[in-house]
Amino acid sequence: MPELPEVETTRAALAPHLTGRTVTAATLRRTDLRWPIAPEITSLLPGRRILEVRRRAKYLLLDTSVGSALLHLGMSGSLRVIPAHVPARPHDHVDLLLDNERVLRMHDPRRFGSVLWQAPGSVHPLLAALGPEPLSDAFTGDYLYALSRGRRAPVKAFLMDQSVVVGVGNIYAAEALFAAGISPLRSAERISRERYRLLVTEIRRVLESAITQGGTTLRDYVSPDGNSGYFVQQLAVYGRGGKPCRNCGRPLRQAAIGQRTSVWCSHCQR
């Protein structure tokens, strides 16, 4: 599934092509993906100018004066701006025609994506309970330390709780914990304030590096420009179970934590 860097890469690639453009029509080749497609996509969005393209967690928002289209890529979705005359392929489910004869096209073979609507001045229920953005000023070591008191869950599961912080998925949680020298098995409440401050620094560094490099190449993820993400070349632990640790050379351990495969070094991470 695309994680925060992949979604941010998508936002940055789409924004120059969408901001300031008017949606002239919406074509739905099916009426539902993971959930029914919001009726506002065809009733309110056409004729409206896109004021801004934003990201919240793994959702993209196309803001207009009458509300925001709320898009999620699911497990296999992708978005591209292409000439309107390009024929639709199988699994091209949604088209937003723009006033320059180009179209924002959503491709989603597995149909786990979503196209929803957020009314002006409101917060969609899917966004209401989300924690802070990991690259925002609200996300600090002191914040994590305070929230972790009394939390006995492994710190990796704690980090991947979207009510704690958004967008720190399996890949980037594993990499940040390795960089900070913290075992993913350690209870969240047993980590000191100073170590949480270090962990936040590493989370920011890892995410910013991944965004700069276009994300991590994932099996089903396709960026809007068709390029691959190159952060995969720098992965220290994710997907490397049993291979030598890049720091100490010992075999990396692998186990399920919170129903997700986790890899770490039992020597370098405590």
**Annotated binding-site positions for DNA:** 91, 110, 151
The answer to whether 213 and 230 have CB atoms below 8 angstroms apart is: yes
Catalytic entry in 2, 5, 134, 154: 2
- Residue 106 half-sphere exposure toward CB, CA atoms < 13 A: 28
C-alpha to C-alpha distance for 152 and 157, rounded to whole angstroms? 10
Please give the Cα distance from 39 to 3 (Å, whole number).
Answer: 27
Instruction: Give the helix/strand (H/E) hosting 16.
Output: helix 4-18
Binding site: which residues? 91, 110, 151
In the set 11, 58, 195, 240, the catalytic residue is 58
Say whether 260 is catalytic.
yes
Q: Please check whether residue 213 is in contact with residue 177, taking contact to mean a CB–CB distance below 8 angstroms.
A: no
- CA 140, distance to chain mean position in Å, is 19
Q: Which of 3, 40, 175, 202 is catalytic?
A: 3
Does the active-site annotation cover 101?
Answer: no
Give the whole-angstrom CA distance, residue 203 versus residue 248: 22
The secondary structure element, H or E, covering residue 78 is: strand 78-83
Distance separating alpha carbons of residues 68 and 53, to the nearest angstrom:
9
Q: Look up residue 200 and give its DSSP letter.
A: H
| 156 among known catalytic residues | no
Neighbours of 159 (CB within 10 A): 27
Is 58 assigned a catalytic role?
Answer: yes
Q: Is 236:172 a contact under the CB 8 Å cutoff?
A: no
Residues annotated as part of the active site? 2-3, 58, 260
